[in-house]
A and B are shown apart, each in its own frame.
Chain A
Amino acid sequence: MISTRAVIGLAVAFCPLALACGDSPERERLDFERMRLQQRYDLYGKSGVFANHQSMQAPPTGTVTRESALDTGAAGTGMSGGQPVASVPVSLTPAQLVLGERKFTIYCAVCHGAGGFGGSIVAENMGPPRPPSLRSDSLAARPDGYIFDVATHGKGRMPAYAVELTPMERWAVIGYIRMLQQSRTLTPAQRADSLRAAAIHSSDSLFSETPRAAGAFP
């Protein structure tokens, strides 16, 4: 009898705790959700406003970016008087050549190889026409503006890199390519590129009617 009263007393004592557990108001939980999922557009998010249900919209046709509006001269187009500029029209600091090396390694070396020999794994796996060597005499003789144009608009199977690389970065890459053409030492990655390029070209020449000149690769 008395012990029953004790049990009831204990139960009453725990009542507030039990209530607190069951009393978590739904509104509070929703408020937390409202913080976690805020009413705003995220990158790559959905939108009910636009017809294509994307929060990210392509700019209207003919939109001019501030960068392209500023770079209408040789530095932005690589052209001067309708002709490709002979040499890089901006001054390249050593730091920018380091940037050029980095960007080259990301975007160019994928196909043209770490040393510019054209001996990348991608080049090996793709059929001819393959990415050319950037160390050839013919490219060394080309003006810098020509390389800029190819990087900007693409050429043959090569896509355009105008989105990935800003004009300044493209000039930095060109500076690095010119350094590569002068370079007579090879890093291990560049040596692997050179050896693979030689292997690709010897196997290609087996199947082509006009074999390439020997000694084109160091």
Chain B
Amino acid sequence: MAALFPRWANTVVRATLVAATCTLVGVPVALMAWVRTPNATRRYQPVAQPIAFDHRIHVTGQRIDCRYCHFSVERSASAGIPPSSTCVACHSDTWMRSSELALVRASIATGQAIRWSRVNALPDFVYFNHAIHVAKGVGCETCHGRVDRMAAVYQAAPLTMSWCVDCHRDPAPHLRPLSEITTMGWTPPTAQRAFGEELVRENNVRSLTNCTTCHR
């Protein structure tokens, strides 16, 4: 009796098996890799804003602390977009006639808030709280990057869940003293691991990995 399959059918079967395995494994892996790329997380993409506010001028140039404008960061879930009155506190005469500040003037006149574009967005099922993070020694720079060098602010961190959980499992490598929260370009005085462990004890930093820590 003649062979049921021709000899090359073996090759077809092997090739199909290899292709099927590659597809079954490769497609999910590729998708998982894709959602972590800066393209998918919208990392490093400067966001156009209604006013070309330059953090470099204010942070590096004028040495203004982050919390001077984002003053609710220590007591609220939101760091706060400063109200137009905060702009006008200094710009009541400094650069007040500049066309860059036209929207600020309009906002003060009408009481209508300036529509800034969101840069760091989390899904609505994630409840992030700024106050507890800065109170436990997570610096602005740790998540927001070198804002003092950004002409237009961009998202510096991937903001993926694995990125959050990495730090929640093991906070020590990401902590800094409470006095250095807003410092840009801070470097640990000694090896970060030992220094961070010390800060964990000092500030009673807990490793919270319950689902309900962030999802409610």
Contacts and interface: CB of A to CB of B under 8 A. Distances in A.
A105 B64 CA distance: 10
A125 interface: yes
Contacts of B16: 10
Interface string B108-121: 00011100101000
B125 A36 contact: yes
A164 B71 CA distance: 6
Contacts of B125: 35-36, 38
Contacts, number: 71
Interface stretch (B3-11, B46-54, B138-146, B155-163): B3-11
Contacts of A36: 123-125
Interface in A1-46: 2-3, 6-7, 10, 14, 35-38, 40, 42-44
A134 interface: no
A174 to B, nearest CB: 18
Interface in A64-116: 102, 105-107, 109-110
A117 B65 CA distance: 18
B93 interface: yes
Nearest to A159: B89
Contacts of B88: 159
Interface in B153-191: 179
B111 A58 contact: yes
Interface of B: prevailing SS: loop
Interface centre among B12, B81, B85, B124 (most CB of A within 10 A): B124
B68 A107 contact: yes
A146 B93 CA distance: 25
A157 interface: yes
B201 interface: no
A122 B58 CA distance: 10
A102 B68 CA distance: 12
A58 B110 CA distance: 13
A37 B6 contact: no
B15 to A, nearest CB: 11
A35 B71 contact: no
Nearest to A43: B78
A44 B137 CA distance: 26
B65 A110 contact: yes
A145 B123 CA distance: 46
Given A106-B67, A120-B63, A157-B93, A3 B112 contact: no
Contact of B92 (A6, A105, A110, A157): A157
A2 B78 contact: no
Contacts of A2: 4-5
Given A38-B124, A159-B89, A110 B63 contact: yes
A35 B123 contact: yes
Contact of A122 (B64, B67, B112): B64
A14 B94 CA distance: 69
A141 interface: no
18 contacts: A2-B5, A3-B5, A6-B9, A37-B123, A38-B125, A43-B77, A44-B81, A44-B116, A52-B113, A54-B112, A54-B113, A58-B111, A105-B65, A106-B65, A106-B68, A121-B61, A125-B62, A157-B93
Given A2-B5, A6-B5, A44-B116, 15 more contacts: A3-B5, A3-B9, A6-B9, A35-B123, A37-B123, A44-B78, A44-B81, A56-B113, A106-B67, A107-B71, A110-B62, A121-B63, A126-B94, A157-B92, A164-B71
